Structure 1
C-alpha cells in the first residue's frame, strides 16, 4: 500500500508541474520574407496579415525585412528553411535572383506562398496578388479616356529590373500602341526613391511642358510628380497606382484632386494568410489567386473612402475583440490551473482515504495467516523445482562447454593438418612453398597456445572484467592476412575464397587478438558449412562513421530459429551440423561489443549465410596496456626488498633509481644491479619521482605500465624538469610494437627494451649510457661558457644559469645557496646537475665565468682594472689581480696589452 501511496504522490507532483508550466504553444509557424517595408503599401500588407492572424491563435509569424536587397532576402529565406518553419510567404525583391532559393524551399517540402511578385519558376505552392500587366492596361485605358484618344504621355517607375515595373510598363504599352494618336514620349525608371530623382523629373517636365498626362507606377511617385508640377506652374493629369487608404495616400490624393486617378493594387495580406491557413490545415486552395483591381477617380472615390473607413472600423473592432479573447484565455488558463490543483488535492485525499481503508482491512485478514503460510510452502516447493531445473541446465552447459573446446581447437588444427598433408603428398619439394606451409603450421600452433590462454579468460567474460588491448594497425593487412591463412584449405576443398576491399590500407585502433579470434571463428564456420566448389567472400568496407566486415558464403544456411539463437551462449541447433557449435559466436559477439560494435547475421536455409561485423570508425593513437601475460608467472609471497646499500657496504660511483611494480622483477633487478651500482628500488612512478629529486641519480630504469602514472608520462616529466632533464632513462615493457617504441622515443627515453629481456643486454645498455654521459662531461668541462655545444635538452638550463650569474655578477656575496634558491633547487640538486653536465663544481663554474667576463671587459672597454674588478664581483682589486694571474699567468694589465 505504501507503494501505491508513493505513486499517487508522484502523479500529484507531475500534475502540479504540468498545471504550473502549461502554456499555449503555436501549432504552426510562418516565416514571412518581405522585400522591403519602406513604403506604406508594404506596411498595409503586414497590417492585413496581422489582422487576419488574429483569427488564428495557433499560428505564429516571423517577419524578415530585406530592405530591397536580394542577397539579404535569400539569406533570410535560407534561415527559414534551416529553422524548419511550416510555411514561407515571400514577396520577391527581384524575380530571377530569388527563383533558386524559393525552389529550394519548395523542394525541401516547405509550402511557399508568393505574394505580389512572381519568380521565373512554377515551383511554388500558391500565388496571391494582382496582375501587374492588367494594372498597366487599366492605366492605359483610363489615359485614353481622359485624353479622349489623343495626347502625349510621360511614364515614371521605380526599379527597371523588378517584375512589377516590367509588367506594368508592358500592359500600359499594349493599350497605348492600339491608339495611334496617343504617344509615349518617355519612360523614366530609377531604382532610387522619388525624392532622389525628382530633379530628373523636373528637368524633363521643364523641357516638355506640353506633356498631357503622367503615368506613375505608384502613388508615392504620383504625389512627388504633382509637387514638381506645382513648383513649375504646370497643371497635369496624373495617374497613380496602389489606391491606399490614409493621409496623402492614393485615395486621399484623388479626393483632394492632386492626381486624376489611381489604380487599385490590393496588398493581398489578408488573402495570403487565408491561403496559408488552408494549406496548413489541408483544406482545398487555389494555386493562382488573382486579386481584384479597379480605377479610382473623382467619381467613385467617395464610395471607396467610405468602404475603407468601414473596413478600418471593423479591423479596429477585431483587434479589440482579439485583445479581449487573449484576456479571456488568460483567465481560462488561471481557472484551469486552479482546477488541476483542486483535482490533485482531491487525489491526495482519496489516496489517504485508501490508506485508512487498507489498514482497516488488514485487521480483518488475521484469520488468513494460515492460508498464506500454506501458499508460502507451495512457493518454496516451486523454488526447489526451479533450482533443480537450473542444476540440470548447468550440467547441460558443461557438456556444451566441452563441445565449445572441441570447436575452438578444430579450426587451427585443421590449418595445421591441411598444409601438413599437402607437404606429405607432394611428389616434389619446393623450398619456398614448404617454408610458407611451415610458417602457417607454426602460426596456428601458436594460435592453439593462445586458445589455451583464452580458456583461462572465460571467467573474465562472465564477470564483465575482460578489457581491450587496443593498438592502431592496418586493418586491411590484418584481415587479408587472416583470410590468406585459409588459402590452402580453400584450394583443397575447391572453394572460391576471396578478400574484397577497395582500400589499400586502413589505419584503425582495435584489439588484434580478439578481432583475430572473431574473424577466424566465423571464417572457419563458413568453411565447415560450405560444400565443395562453393564460395566464401570476405569484404571490408568503410564510410565516415563505421567499418563493416562481411563474411558471406553459399553454404547450407540457417533456419529461422537457428538464426535467432545463433549468438546464444552454448546454443546448438537440432541438426548434427550447426553454426551454433559451442561458445564461438557468443564469444565473438562479446569481443565485438567490447569494441563498441555490433555483429549481425543474415541467413536463409539452403542459400548461404552472411555475417556482418560493424565497428565504429574513430582515429586513435596507439594505446599501450600491459598484458596479463606479462606477469603470468605465479606471484608467491616474498620477503620485502631490502633498502639500498643493505647487505652491501660498498658505495659505488653511480646511482640508479629502479621503478617496477612487479615485486619479483623489482627484487631480481635490484639484486643484479647493486653489484655495480647504488640502487634505489621503488614500485610506483610517484615514489620514483620523489627518489629522483632526492638523489638526482645517474640513470633511471622504469617500467611502462605502472599503477597510476605510466612510464611514458614519468619520462616526459623527467625530461621537462631542468633539475632532472640530463638523467638517462631506460624504459622496460612487455609491448615491443614499433608504435610503442616510437611513443617512448617521443617521451624522451634514451633506451627502450622489450620484455622478456636479456639481462646482459640491459647491463650493457646501462654501461653505455653512463659512459656516454661521462664522455660528455669530460668533453665540455673546458667549454662551460659555450652551452650551445651541449645537447639541446640541457642548453636552456645552462643559458638560464649563466644569465642568473651575469645578473648578480657584481655581487661579491654571490653564493651557491643564493643561486640554487633563485633556480628553485636545493643546493645538492644544483651541485649534482652542474657536475653531471660540466664535470665542475658550482664554485669553479662561477669563477671561470667571472674570469671570461673580466677578459672581455679588459679587451673591449676602457674601464680601469679596479672598475673591472668591482663589476665582476671582487671587493679588492688586488685580490682580483692575484686571482687573474693565477688563472692566466698574466696580470690584467699584461692581458690588456698583449
Structure 2
C-alpha cells in the first residue's frame, strides 16, 4: 500500500507539472481609463489595440469605460493607481479635472500614456494622437476654398471642455480668419454623440436658416444633422464636413462615398501605436514622448482609393485574426495532447502497480467475501427478526389502545352499580358505624374512578388524542375556586392554607379541565404529605420578563430525597415516599398536561423540610394553534355542555333540590321510558328503580331498542353508548332523524367522558350526556326535568290534549303515536304561511281524508283550525317573551299578513295583540 501511495503522489506531481507547462501566466497589467467606449471611433481603437495585443501574450489590458462622466473616470484612475498597474493609459474626458490624478500616477512611478486628448500638464510619459489644431486648420482652409471665401457656417461641437473639441475649433477659426466673408453663425453642443447633435440641431438651425455648410467635430454628429435635414427635405441645400474618416460600413469613408458627407478629415485612432509604445516603455526600450499621427483630407476625389485601401486592410486584418484563432486552437490542442500523454503515462504506471497489488490481494479478498457473506446472512436474519418483532409490537400497541378504551367502560359500569346503591343507603337511615363503612366504600370507588381517568388520560397522550381547548380566562379566580375545595380539609386538620397573588386578576389562555387536574393533583399531594397543623400555600406571580405566569404550590411536609426529586415526573415512579400510597401517575400526568400548554413544571424539595412545585404558563396566544383556541362562552366547559345537553330550564343543583318536581304529581305511570342497556345488572338496577314512578320497557341492544321506540313511542329514552351492533350514538341519530321519534328526549349513559366524545353525543342529537359512574338521584331528577320541560314546551307551542279538545277522550297508544307525528309536522312547519292539510298529509304518508278524520276524532278540531290555534298560542308566547314587533311575530308564526294576524288574535282572545302585550307586561 505504501508503494501505491508513492506512485499516486508521483502521478499527481506529473499532472500538475504538465498543467503548469500548458498555462501562460500574465505578467504585466496595463490599465486603460477610457473617457467613453460607445462611439465607432473608440470601438475601432479597441479593436486595433486587441489585435496588437495578440502578439504580446505577456501583456494584459484592462479597459474601464467612464461613459462621458469625468467623476467616474477619476474614480477609475484612482482604482488603477491603488492596484499599482504596470502602465496607465488615459484618454481624458475633460483635461483640467483629470490632470492632478495623471500627475500623481506619474510621480508614483507608474508610466502614463496620454491618448487622443491632452491633459493640462506635461507630467506624463508619452502622448499618442493626431494634432487636433492642425486638423481644424486643414478643415478651415478646405471650407474657405469650397465656399469661395463667402458663406454662413453652423459648427457642431464635441464635448466642450475636452481638448480635441477646443483644438479643432481653434484651428478651424484660425484658418477662417483669412476669409473675411465666412462666418460661424451658430455652435451646436453635440457632445460627440449623433443623437444629441440630431436633437439639439433644429433649435439652432431654425434660428439661422441661411446656412451654407455644417462643420461637425466628428462624422457621426455630421450624420445626425444630415438625417434631420433629410427628414425636412433640406439636405440638398447644405454642405456637410466631418472629422474621423473611419473605415467600415458606419465610418466617415462610407458616408463620403454615399454622398452624405462632402468631405471628412482622417483622424487615426492610434490603437496599434499605443500598444507598441506601451511595450517599449515596459521593456525599457527607446521611445518618443510625442507621437503625432498624420491626417489627410478625404472627399470625392480620393474616397474611392482610400476606401479600397482600408477595405483591403480590414480584410487582411480579418484573415490575420482567423489565422491567429486557428493557431491558438492548435496550441490548445497541442497542450491538451501533451497533458493527456502525461496522464496516460502516469495512468499506465498506476495500472501496472495496481494489477500487481490486485493479484497479491485476490486471495485475501476471497476470504473476506466469504466472511462478509456469512455476516450478511446473519444481518438479514436479524433484520427479518426485528421486522417481525416490530409488527408484533404494533399489534401489541394497538391491542393496548383498545384495552384502555374498553377498560374504561368495563370499570365504570361496575362502579355505577357500586356507587348507586351506596348513595341510596347513605341517604337512608343507617347506623353511624354502617354509614362510616359506606363512606369508605364510596371513597375507594371514587379513588378507583380517578385512577381509571388517569390511565385514560395517559392513553390519549400516548395516542396524541388529547387536545387543548383553551380560552382566555382569569387564572387568579380559577385557582382560588379550585383551592376553595380544600378549605374544609384545611380547617379540619388545622392546616394554615392560603392563596396569595401579586395581581387581583390575570387573563391567561388555558384549558380549564386540564389546569384543574394539575392543580388538584398538586394540592392533593401537598395536603396528603403535610402533617396536621402544618402549612400549605399557593402563590401566583408574574415572571421577571412579564411573559409568563408562575404558580407555586408549597408545603412544609415530609419533602423528598434528591433521588426522588430527580425522578418525580417519571411515569409510575413512586420512590420511598409513595411506596405504599400511590401509583406514581399523578405528577407524570401533570407534567404532560403542562407540556401541552407549552409550559414548564419543576420541583424543589428537601427531606423533612417541605416541597415546592413551580408551574409556569406562557402569556398570550402566539404559542397556541388556531384550532386549540375556543370562544370563552362560559367560565368552564362543563356548564356549557350541561346547557347544551339539557332541554330543561333548571340547572342540575336546582333539579336535585327542587321540592316542586319531587312532589308534584306528574302522572308518571302514564309516562313511558325505554331503557336500552346491554349490561344485564345495570339494566335490571335502573328498571327496578324507575318502575316506582314510570312505565318502563327495556331492550338489550340498539337494534331492538330502535324497533321498540317506533312501536311504543315512549316519553323518554335512556341508552348506553357502547353496545354490540348498533351503539347509542347510532341509535340516537336514527331516532332524531325519524319524524315519529324525533321529539323524544334521549339520555346517553357512557364511560367516555372526554370533551370530544361529549360533543359527538350532542351532534348525534342527545338531550343529555351522563358519565358513568353516576348518581341515580341525579339521573332521576334529570329524567323528571326533561319530561317536565317537554310538557312545558307543549303548553307553550301547541294546544293542550285533551284540556282544550272538544272531545274529552284520552288517545290510545296507537293514536298517541299518530298525534305525536302530527304535532311534530305542525311545529316543524309552523312558520310556513302556505301550510295546509295536503302538506301535512303528504308529510305523514297518509291521504288528506284520513288525516282530516283522525285529527277531528282525536283532537276535536279540523286540521286548519287546529293549526291556527297552535299559531296563536305560540304568538302569545312571543308577545311576552321576545323583543320582536307584532309584524315580525305574525310572519314568524305563519300568518300571511299582520292585519290577518291581529284579527284572528282578537277573535280568539277577545283582545288585540298590542293590548295583550301592554296589559300583561304592566302586570308582570
TM surpasses 0.5: no
Larger radius of gyration: 2
TM-score (norm. length: structure 2): 0.39
If the length of structure 1 is used for normalisation, what is the TM-score? 0.40
